[in-house]
Chain A
Amino acid sequence: MGLFRDIRKNAWLYLLALPGIIFLVVFSYLPMTGHMLAFKDYRINKGIWGSPWVGFKNFRFFFGGVNWLPVTRNTLFLNALFIIAGLGAAIVVSLLLNEIRRAAYKKVVQSVIFLPYFVSWMVVSFIVYAMLNTKDGTINRMLATLGHAPISWYSSPQYWPAILTIINLWKSAGYNSVILLAAIAGISGEYYESAVIDGATRFQQMRLITLPLIRTTILVLLLLALGRIFYGDFGMIYGVVGDNTPLLATTDVIDTYSYRALRNLANFSMSSAVVLYQSVMGLIVVVVFNAIVHRVDENARLF
C-alpha cells in the first residue's frame, strides 16, 4: 500500500523513472531466469525449462579441485591492487589536471590521457612483449646498459602483479579521471575565493577543498569497483599472460581458470555456475561495504 501512495505523491518522479524501470524488467530481470542453468544440466533439445535439476553438480569442477582457493585469492588480490592504484591514479591525475591554468593545454592533455582506453588488449600484449621479452626487450636492454643481467620476465611470476597493475593503471586512469573531473567542475567557486582571501596556497586548496568535496564520487566509484572484485579482468590477463605456465601462480584468476577448464566442453551450465559464485560473493562484499560507507558519507551509499 505504501508503494501506491508514494507513486501518487511523487507521480512525476515515477514517470521520470518509468523508462528505466521498464528497461530493467525487460532486459535485466527477465533474462535472469537463465541463471537457473547453474543448477541444471542444460540440454539444448530440452530447453532451459525442460532440462533436469542437478543441484550443485555444476559447481563441483570448480570447488572440487585444489585450485579454487589460490585462484580466488589471486582475483581478490589483483583486483584490490587495481582498485587502489587505478582509483588513486585517477584522483591524482584529475586533481593535478584541475590545477592547470592554460585551457588549451588542459584540453589537449585530457584528450591524450583518454587514448589508452582505445588500445585493444591484443595490441597491448604486443607492446608489453616488446618491452619485456628476454632477448631484445626494451627493459632488458636498459638493464644491460646499467650493467645488470637480463631478467626473464615471462618466467618470473613475482613481478607480474606489479606489471599488471601498471598496465591497468595506464589503461584506465584517463577514463576514470574524466568522472572525477566532472565532479570537481561541480564545486562552487565561492569556496576557492574565500580560501584565497584567507591566504591558502593552491596545494592547500586542493587538499582541503577539492579533495573532500569529491569524496562522495570517489566513494561511489570505490563501491562500484568493489562489487566486481570477484570478476577478474579476463581481457587483460588472458590477452597479456595467456597460458604461460610459470606466470599462472600469481596471475591466474577465476575467469581464466574457468575459461581453460571449459573451453573445449561447450557447457553453459558449468560456466553459469562460476558466474553465479562470482556474483553472489560480490553482492556480499558490496552489502557489507555499503553499510560501512553509509556511516561515513550519507550521499555515497548505493542503497
Chain B
Amino acid sequence: MLVQRNIRPKRRMIRSAGKDAPFSAFVYVFVTLFALMCLLPFWLMFINSFAKESVIARDGFTLFPKAYSAYAYQFLFQNTRVFSNYRVSILVTVLGTCAAVTVTSMFAYALSNKKMRYGNAISFMTYFTMLLGSGLVGFYILMVNWLHLKDSLLAMILPYLMNPFFVFVLVAFYRGIPYELNEAATIDGANDALIFFKIILPVAMPSIATVTLFFALQYWNDYFLALLFIDDYKLYPLQMMIRTLISNLNAQQFISGSRTAYAIQIPTYGVQLATVCVTVGPIVLLYPLLQKHFVKGLTIGAVKG
C-alpha cells in the first residue's frame, strides 16, 4: 500500500502544560464572543420573521418582538411555488457542484504541476479572465444567440463551472503537497491522471471539501443566471423567486392605488426575513455534513510508510 488512509494524528491527545491555560482561556473567550457577534444578527432575522409587520415597522428589529405572527411565512408559501423553486435550486446546486468541483480540481492540478512548461502561461490566461470579466452584453448574446441556452437548467449550471478564484486557492494547496508523492507513484508506473485521482485527491481532501462547499454556496445563492436566462416561472430557483417577490413588494409601495391589500397588511419586511431563513436552512445543514472532510484524513508522512 502506497498510502495509509484515515489515520488521525495523535497530537490532540497530548495534554498541554499549565502554561497553556491563559492562552486557552483567551482562545475560548475570543471565539465565543466572535461567534455571538455572528449569531446575534441572525437571531434578529429569525425571530423577527415571526413578528407582526406593524411591530417591525414601528420598532425595527428587536431581540424579542412584542407581537408575533406567522403571516409572513404563510404569505410566502401560499403566494409562491416554493416547493418547485426548492426542487430546481437543489437540482442545480447538486449537479452544478459535482461538475464544477470535478472540472476545477482537475484544471488546478494541471496548472500546479511543475512538469507543465506552459502552466504559467495558462495561469495568466485564467487570471486575466477573472479581472476582465465578460461584460453583460457579450455574455448574454453568447448564451442566448450562440448557445441557445434560454429556459434550461444548463443555463444556470454552465457559466459557473469553473471559478478562477477557487482554481488559484486549490493551486496553492496542491503546491503544498510534497512532490515526493508524485515521484514515488511515477516510479510505480502511474500516469498523471491516476496520480491525481488516487493520490493527490485524498491528500487534498480538506481543500476539495472547502471548494465543494463554496461552489454549493455559489449555485445555491445565485439569482443572476436565472434572472437573465429563465423566463419560465416553473424553472425559477429559490433566489429568483425571492428577488422577484421582494422587488415587487418594494415597488408596490410607491405605486398609489396598488396597495389595496385585503384585511391584513402585506408583510414587506417580514417576508424579506422569512425568505432569508428559508434559504439558509439547507445550507446550514450541509456544512456539518461536509465538516468531517475538513479535518485531516491522512498523514503526509505516509510517504515513508
- Where the two chains meet, the residues of A that have a C-beta atom closer than 8 Å to any C-beta of B are 2-3, 6, 9-10, 12-17, 19-21, 23-24, 26-35, 37, 42, 48, 92-93, 96-97, 99-101, 107-120, 122-124, 126-127, 129-130, 170, 173-174, 178-179, 181-183, 185-190, 192-193, 196, 201-203, 213, 216-217, 220-221, 223-224, 227-228, 268, 272, 275, 279, 282-283, 286, 299-300, 302-303
Contact = CB atoms under 8 A, between A and B. Distances in A.
B181 interface: no
Contact of A13 (B30, B116, B126): B116
Contacts of B106: 16-17, 19-20
Interface stretch (B75-83, B86-94, B107-115, B229-237): B107-115
Contact of B133 (A189, A202, A275): A275
Contacts of A120: 272, 276
Given A16-B106, A182-B210, 17 more contacts: A14-B116, A17-B106, A19-B103, A20-B104, A31-B139, A35-B132, A100-B28, A112-B38, A112-B39, A116-B38, A116-B42, A120-B276, A183-B176, A186-B173, A186-B203, A189-B11, A224-B169
A170 B20 CA distance: 28
A19 B221 CA distance: 24
B161 A227 contact: no
Question: Which applies to chain A's interface (DSSP): helix, strand, loop or mixed?
Answer: helix
A277 B92 CA distance: 34
Interface in B257-305: 269, 272-273, 276, 279-280, 283-284, 287-288, 291, 294-296, 299-301
A179 to B, nearest CB: 6
Contacts of A33: 138
B60 A34 contact: no
Interface in B206-228: 206-207, 209-210, 213-214, 217, 221
B192 to A, nearest CB: 4
B115 A227 contact: no
A105 to B, nearest CB: 9
Give the 4 A-B residue pairs with the shortest CB-CB distance, closest first. A34-B138, A20-B107, A189-B9, A34-B135
A12 B295 CA distance: 30
Contacts of B127: 227, 286, 302-303
Interface string B1-44: 00000000111101011011001100110111011011101101
B120 interface: yes
Nearest to B56: A126
Interface string B141-153: 1100011000000
